[in-house]
Amino acid sequence: MLDQPRVQRPAMADRSTPLLFNHWYIAAYTREVTRAPMDRWLMGESVVLYRKNDGVAVALQNRCPHRSFPLSKGKLEGDNIVCGYHGFKFNTAGKCVQVPSQATTKSSLDIASFPLVERGPLLWIWMGDAKLADPAKIPDHSWLHDPGHSAVLGYFHVKSNYVPLHENVLDLTHFHFLHGADVGALSFVEAPPETSVENGVVKVLRVDRDTIPPPHYARMAGIAGHRADRISEAEVPSPALSWARATIVDREPMPGARKDYHFWIMHGLTPVNQNETHYFWANVRDCSVGDKVIDEWLMPRSAKVLSEDVEAVQWCQEIWAQTAPERYGELNVASDAPGVQVRRVLAQHAAKEHGGAVAEMDHHAPQ
């Protein structure tokens, strides 16, 4: 018996790695999806999203199999959607239940229906093999929707592949250079965090003892002027999600006051296609809960910092598109350790889903 040659894949995912379908992704904020059908490109496919009369959300392939008309331009009839061109009718399972000029229909006219799960403000979609669509695989984000938390939510349409966005999020050294001294301390650059990988989940930990917490955390916690410990954690539980949590432990608490305050930032990354990404973000806290003044102060501040990230990855994508990979590769250094781990995990997912063997590492960090 002869060994079959296997496709050799790069050890690390990059902008050209095939998209990973067998994962849950954020399709939309739940508030976006109503009885008015909306279209959204997700993972290279046009999808129509709407709600049934009972409020449950539906996601169907947004293409009538008859003449490719986008169903989002049609209208709802009860829970079914009717094509706006020739009236083909589809139920929420994607089954074609009526062809106006015929008494019968046929399974070849059915379209894909995508599993959805609504969790807090997020609507998760599964666009891969439906048999594998287990809601238990949705990464936990209870801090976003459980009581006792407040969040501001935002969105960017990013003209970049999603992999560099994952890297950007995990990388602390860009804070100082891209966002400026008020966001990123230079000490972050010099002392790289600890990185670990467990079951495909990349985790990053950094602890700063007895320090002055950033002013915006101190303000939200109401502990301005206090010294505190700061524990920074980040986790990438899936190709679709990355989050970071800062725990501020007040070293000078008022008598009877709480000591621990938590702040999360969520990065929900859903490929539009190979070269563009939906970026759903949230800033979450377990203090100043329900404080609208804090929300209104936090929202533009968060949006501005993240817009700098978006701009940066878009600039990189532009230069890359004109010059790489034919002429230049990318090189890794010490601070890339967390990003490299994510890229390795994504490469392993790609090999699992699309076949092929992952190469041994060809780039070792640091260089």
Among positions 73-132, residues that touch a second copy (CB under 8 A) are 73-74, 82-87, 99-102, 104, 106, 108-109
189/305 Cα distance (integer angstroms): 18
Based on CB atoms, which residue is closest to a second copy, 77 or 252?
Answer: 77
Q: How far is CA 32 from the centre of its chain?
A: 17
Three-class SS state of 96: strand
Residue 64's nearest CA partner among 33, 30, 100 is: 100
CB of 249 to a second copy, least distance (A): 26
Specify burial of residue 360 (Cβ count, 10 A radius: 0-12, 13-18, 19+).
exposed
Q: Which of 32, 208, 295, 330 is the binder for a second copy (CB under 8 A)?
A: 330
Decide: 6 and 356 in contact? Cβ < 8 Å.
yes
Q: What are the two backbone dihedrals, phi and then psi, of residue 340, each rounded to the nearest 5 degrees?
A: -60, -40
Q: Which of 205, 210, 315, 352 is the binder for a second copy (CB under 8 A)?
A: 315
Based on CB atoms, which residue is closest to a second copy, 85 or 297?
Answer: 85
Based on CB atoms, which residue is closest to a second copy, 171 or 286?
Answer: 171
Range list of β-strands (E), 254-330: 260-273, 276-285
CA distances from 59 to 65, 140, 181 (A): 16, 22, 44
Decide: 37 and 48 in contact? Cβ < 8 Å.
yes
Taking CB under 8 A as the binding criterion, the range among 38-46, 125-133, 203-211, 347-355 that sits at the site for a second copy is 38-46
CB of 140 to a second copy, least distance (A): 30
CB of 105 to a second copy, least distance (A): 8
Based on CB atoms, which residue is closest to a second copy, 70 or 139?
Answer: 70
Three-class SS state of 228: strand
165 binds a second copy (CB under 8 A): no
16 binds a second copy (CB under 8 A): no
Q: Which of 201, 312, 353, 356 is the binder for a second copy (CB under 8 A)?
A: 312
Q: Which of 8, 16, 68, 307 is the binder for a second copy (CB under 8 A)?
A: 68
In the block, residue with structure tokens 């002027």: 225
Decide: 153 and 282 in contact? Cβ < 8 Å.
yes
Q: Is the bond into 325 cis (omega within 30 degrees of 0)?
A: yes
Taking CB under 8 A as the binding criterion, the range among 29-37, 133-141, 325-333, 348-356 that sits at the site for a second copy is 325-333
Q: Give how many residues touch a second copy by CB under 8 A.
A: 57
Decide: 35 and 290 in contact? Cβ < 8 Å.
no
Sheet holding 122-126, edge to edge: 24-29, 122-126, 116-119
176 binds a second copy (CB under 8 A): yes
124/42 Cα distance (integer angstroms): 12
Q: Which of 62, 150, 242, 277 is the binder for a second copy (CB under 8 A)?
A: 62
164 binds a second copy (CB under 8 A): yes
Q: What six digits make up the tokens of 225?
A: 């002027």
Q: Which of 18, 29, 38, 66 is the binder for a second copy (CB under 8 A)?
A: 66
The H-or-E segment that residue 338 falls in is helix 337-354
CB of 113 to a second copy, least distance (A): 16
The residues with which 264 forms a beta bridge, in sequence order, are 245, 284
Based on CB atoms, which residue is closest to a second copy, 150 or 242?
Answer: 242
Site track 185-224 with a second copy (rule: CB under 8 A), x = hit: ----xx-x--------------------------------
Residues at the site binding a second copy, with contacts judged by CB under 8 A: 44-46, 62-63, 65-70, 73-74, 82-87, 99-102, 104, 106, 108-109, 164, 167, 171, 173-174, 176-178, 189-190, 192, 312, 315-320, 322-324, 328, 330-335, 366-367
